């Protein structure tokens, strides 16, 4: 069954590796091309992520380096990996092709400079997370306790992203930032977050947040990281992740659920879901509870409907 995965950190691993890694088949990459093909992943978002502690003066250069890896290592060396610059391209992908999309996981690298953001978007970025876990010039992240939320510069950023029909990702926002962004964002989603009612983590969404996203018709994509699934159980199994999907469904979000693995950004794994090649194991587990049509929604079609709405705006 075709799968759209809204988050992986392959670019970060490629950029930080001590010796070159092959996106084609490196065993050090959980979402390499061979694994994506085996897992029937037809769309993969590749996050540009610059970690905390990286020298501030080099953040933007590092972001550009990861974008270069996207174009040279992901797209340039693989004929069946197709860069998606407009969402309508999803409908033209052929059997065996993998759509590849750039995203930004945090805006630390722009250092309060809108020109830098515009430059990054010009390279094909279609989804932007305003923060990682800490605070920056734009907003507070999930681990920040200052309570500042969205800054005045952040409001400018959100307005610009709206003008460009860029999706804003709430997965790493603090609660204050989330509620500040919610009424201002044109296109909004959580690319890799679970339900806090099931697993109490600041990276997960409260029921109130989930209901607010449902009200805004915004996708909610579950993440495979065991620490965001179940704190008290080892090993974490696929059914434990399904419980988060069940909970979001119970709140009325069945038509918005999707997947956001976080492969290559995690070092712990769900049993039977250790890399992208195992993705169909999750599909098989979901089929035990949900209809084929519902599961097809979770794996790809829910997000497909969402970006079709964006496509209409892009074409106007």
For the chain, list the domains and their CATH numbers: 3-315 (3.20.20.140)
- Burial class of residue 88 in the structure, from the number of CB atoms within 10 Å of its CB (0-12 exposed, 13-18 middle, 19+ buried): middle
Which pLDDT tens digit goes with each residue over 272-292?
A: 999 999 999 999 999 999 999
Phi then psi for residue 83, to 5 deg, are: -70, 130
CA distance 285 to 42: 20
Which pLDDT tens digit goes with each residue over 80-137?
A: 999 999 999 999 999 999 999 999 999 999 999 999 999 999 999 999 999 999 999 9
- Percent of the chain's residues with pLDDT above 70: 99
pLDDT at 305: 98
pLDDT at 145: 82
pLDDT at 115: 97
pLDDT at 207: 98
The secondary structure of the chain in percent helix, strand, coil, rounded to multiples of 5, reads 40, 15, 40
pLDDT at 298: 98
CA distance 105 to 128: 6
Q: Contacts for 66-70 with beta carbons within 8 Å, 24 or more apart?
A: 66/11, 66/12, 66/14, 66/15, 67/11, 67/102, 67/120, 67/123, 69/11, 69/14, 69/15, 70/11, 70/46, 70/100, 70/102
pTM score, whole prediction: 0.97
pLDDT at 141: 93
pLDDT at 171: 97
Q: Which regions in the chain score pLDDT beneath 50? A: none
């Amino acid at each position: 069954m075709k799968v759209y995965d809204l988050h992986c950190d392959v670019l970060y691993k490629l950029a930080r590796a001590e010796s070159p890694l092959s996106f084609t088949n490196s065993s050090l990459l959980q979402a390499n091309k061979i694994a994506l093909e085996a897992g029937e992943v037809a769309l993969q978002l590749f996050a540009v992520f610059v970690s905390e502690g990286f020298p501030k003066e080099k953040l933007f250069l590092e972001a550009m380096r990861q974008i270069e890896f996207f174009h040279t290592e992901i797209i340039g060396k693989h004929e069946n990996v197709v860069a998606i610059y407009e969402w309508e391209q999803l409908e033209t992908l052929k059997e065996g092709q993998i759509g590849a999309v750039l995203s930004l996981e945090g805006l630390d690298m722009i250092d309060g400079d809108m020109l830098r953001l515009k430059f990054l978007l010009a390279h094909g970025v279609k989804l932007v997370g305003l923060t990682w876990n800490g605070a920056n010039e734009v907003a507070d992240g999930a681990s920040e306790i200052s309570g500042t939320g969205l800054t005045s510069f952040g409001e400018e950023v959100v307005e610009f992203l709206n003008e460009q029909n860029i999706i804003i990702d709430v997965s790493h926002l603090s609660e204050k930032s989330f509620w500040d962004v919610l009424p201002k964002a044109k296109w909004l989603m959580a690319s890799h977050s679970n339900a806090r009612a099931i697993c109490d983590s600041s990276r997960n969404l409260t029921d109130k947040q989930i209901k607010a996203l449902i009200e805004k018709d915004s996708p909610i994509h579950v993440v495979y990281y065991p620490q965001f699934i179940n704190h008290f159980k080892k090993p974490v199994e696929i059914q434990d992740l399904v419980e988060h999907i069940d909970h979001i469904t119970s709140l009325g979000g069945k038509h918005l659920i999707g997947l956001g693995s976080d492969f290559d950004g995690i070092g712990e794994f769900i049993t039977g879901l250790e890399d992208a090649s195992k993705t169909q194991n999750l599909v098989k587990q979901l089929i035990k509870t949900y209809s084929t049509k519902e599961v097809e929604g979770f794996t790809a079609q829910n997000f497909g409907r969402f970006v079709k709405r964006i496509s209409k705006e892009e074409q106007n």
